[in-house]
Structure 1
Amino acid sequence: MQYVDEFLLIAVAHFFAVASPGPDFAVVLKQSIQQGRKNALWTSAGVGAAILLHIGYCVLGVALILSQSPSLFMVLKYVAGAYLAYLGVHAIRSAKPAHTDEQTLTETAPESYFKAFRRGFFTNALNPKATLFFMSLFTLVISPDTPVGVQASYGVYMAVATWLWFSFLSLVLSKASVRAFFLKRGYWFDRGIGVVLIALAIRVVV
């Protein structure tokens, strides 16, 4: 019970962080519209799994090293920016679909679930915003006296909560009516998401 206050503070901070629009939201939105519900859910699982990576290096003390090494953090920012820019360029260059009717939705071959999971995982894992968030939590909010097991439980909670949040978004955004609406404008939707991802990449770097 002595860690309840700390947990509640973390839970509130995490909720606002995960609910704010960012690369994770953009990728899950794109997967939901283009690839459908199952792929979007696997992408959401990848995003949630990446939280465990952030928690792992924070618990092991790597966050402290990153906070004391600006050059290392800059390398991380550039890698993340390049990955987001790659996703953005890929979206912009996507071909205009020949048909946008409901039959096309069922005939389009989705990407593999592993690729969807990997896309979500790397989008979050290479997101400096997530790195800064967890560094802040583990250096400013979580007490150094908090046992490692308790810190790990915080991480499991945040991973599960992230997965559930983006899974909920996937279920909503992948509804047939929502997908049909966006796919009728898919040519411009792809390019809009691509511009957003490239803008996020620039924001990450600068």
Structure 2
Amino acid sequence: MTLPRILGGAAAIALSIGILTQMPASAESIVRAPAPAVNPASPAKTETALFAGGCFWGVQGVYQHVKGVTSAVSGYTGGTASAANYDSVSTGGTGHTEAVKVTFDPAQVSYGQLLQIYFSVVADPTQLNAQGPDRGPQYRSALFPTNARQLQTAKAYLGQLSQAKLWKRPIVTKVERAQGFFPAERYHQDYLTRHPNAPYIRINDMPKVAGLKSLYPGLYREKPVLVRAS
């Protein structure tokens, strides 16, 4: 699998013509978002939530370093099972988005804190159908709550952030209904951990992990939780 084919879309084009280093995804989007004002406690021992914020390599890589997260799996949501593969999703016409399924212990990290991390370091919520060098609806910024508490928290937090005006442009992140989740191909899992010096990862995603460590040291863990054995 060649890098241009793996990256897909605008990222592949940028890499092939040598300008990827001029298009960092996260330089403007790392901000310390306020804690959610609405964040009801969960009685569950474990919960799952879906987050979409551009290429799933970076989204997964950040959440794998969050204390209380027991699993973070890259995959696809929003379309059919038959089209849930990288080549099809990369066309932008399947209805899927690249997403990460995060399983976590609410006693250690709340859904609200995961949202705070998302808006602080994971995604730029002002980019419509894009993140950094990647373009298309499969890279849209979206939240997929999996229960009523998460839905309440996500909607309230979007309203709170809109009022806070942390970004120069309007927030376009949407709250969408959680649908089927299909794990991505094996080579996509733990990509950030396995390829920290790859140009795309080094430029676009490692600053997000560094931002997590800097902004939320109490929630950061050095050793990531991985999908596959190294």
User: Is this a same-fold pair by TM over 0.5?
Assistant: no
More helix per residue: 1
TM-score by length of 1: 0.26
Q: RCO higher in 1 or 2 (8 Å CA, sep ≥ 6)?
A: 1
Q: Which has the larger radius of gyration?
A: 1
More strand per residue: 2
